[in-house]
Amino acid sequence: MMKKYAKKLFLSLLVIFIIIKIYLLFKPHVLIWDEAVYYGMGKYLFSNGAIGIWELLRPIILPIILGFSWKIFDSFIIAKILMLCVSIGYIYFTYKIGNEIFGEEVGYFSAMIILLTPIFFLYSGYFLTGILSGFFLLGSIYFILKEKYVIAGIFSTLAFLSRFPHGIGYILLFSWIFFTNNKSKWKKLFKYSLGVMLLLIPFFVFNIFMYNGQNIIVSAIYPILKAMPHQNNPLAPTGNLAYYLIETIKNNFLFGFSLFGAIVFLKEKKRKKEKTKSFILISLILSTYFFYFSIIDNKQLRFSFAFLGLLAIITAKGIHFCFYNNIFRNKYKKYISIALILLILLSGFMYLLKIKKYVSWGRYIEEPGIVTEFYKYFKGTNNTILTSDPVPAGYTENLYLSYYLGEEDLKKVEIHELKSNNIEYIIYTPRSFGCVQNDDKCLSDFKNMKQTINEYNLIFNETYYGEKYYIYKVN
């Protein structure tokens, strides 16, 4: 009986989620930094390098998706629809894994917890890799549980090529197959590795041709090597070791039941061996990702999509236990159930407050001035532009070269580099640069760069949201 109500409640929440997203679909979408990079990279790929922007440290799957959407219809609407489908897929695999391990009710509860998590609602509307790569990771776990190893390998690689830290998932799943299988171990590993190599080899070949100035091995993994230092970017958002523990619970109080869910499952006497193995697998993946993202300097709540689906499953197990089991004596069970209901209501109230704020962020009646005046400044032209802000690359059909990715990138401002790259304009935004304390070389490089740029003709100078934006004409 409760299964039917859980299903109806889940479907109701899903329909509400989709309706709100469809409402926001036709509102102006203002790109943020990372979105613009991925969208610009998509243009670069599908124009054969004629327009867009290229950041070599970025994974390639999202640019392919966004470039495809741009090629079909030069509007953000197609990309929004595709990312909405990915978000629904993330919910779907959360449900499927929960159902596979704990049963259908826990599966529905798991999916509802994701739907009721404000950070998921917010980022399901962005063109970013968090939910996309999380979707592929969850898919790979589900297909491992179903012993469909080739497709699991494909999903593992798609996760990795969407976000490089998901190499962790590949290592864990490969190790899991190796250590937990006696029969047909090598056959299963071969199938999984075959799925991985079907996509990984083309990626390496692409890199060898794209970055052929290095030796063949370095070229093959060049974007990965360039991306690694950014996990400890000193200028990126950061926090202490308890950042994700605190912030995930603050975002959705229900996650506080996750530890309870794990304890409850391990104390259950009647549980199948395969269910225990599956639980250990998702716990291992969850804890490894949680540990990894907790120890790197660059901490942002949107990175939690790597493990949020698995956390929701274990949380749902704890909530399900509180409602439907008789472990507690009757007089305590009543109070615990009341406390749980109050917590759910409080979580729901906080969710509505945050969703109201998030929806208002996306309710632009028209594009703000920074878009129409600055990001679209070169719309309708065909120029090569050196930029410290990638966002214009998402709005116009020009070729953009970055100079904000470090010391080597700054050299593009030098006169001979400007000439060799046929640079016609320079976009300069002070917010794109920063030096850690007492880094004299960085400060010196920045000063020299600014002096060089100031030699050119300033043609645009505006302030938006307290930040300065400049455009210089080189010739």
Residue-by-residue pLDDT tens, the chain, 475 positions = 466 778 888 999 899 999 989 988 888 889 999 999 999 999 999 999 999 999 999 999 999 999 999 998 878 999 999 999 999 999 999 999 999 999 999 999 999 999 999 999 999 989 999 999 999 999 999 999 999 999 999 999 999 999 999 999 999 999 999 998 888 899 999 999 999 999 999 999 999 999 987 789 999 999 999 888 887 776 677 778 899 999 998 888 888 888 777 777 777 656 677 788 898 999 999 999 999 999 998 899 999 999 999 999 999 988 887 776 644 445 556 666 666 667 766 777 677 777 666 666 555 667 889 999 999 999 999 999 999 999 999 999 999 999 988 777 888 888 888 888 899 999 999 988 887 777 788 888 888 889 999 999 999 999 999 999 999 999 7
Other Cβ atoms closer than 10 A to 409: 15
CA atoms of 204 and 218, how far apart (whole Å): 10
- pLDDT reported for residue 328: 47
| Cα–Cα distance list, 201 to 156, 175, 215, 373 (Å) | 14, 21, 17, 43
CA atoms of 309 and 333, how far apart (whole Å): 28
**Strands ordered across the beta sheet of 467-473:** 399-402, 384-387, 425-428, 467-473, 457-464
CA atoms of 262 and 260, how far apart (whole Å): 5
The packing angle between helices 129-145 and 149-162, to 10°, is 160
- pLDDT reported for residue 327: 46
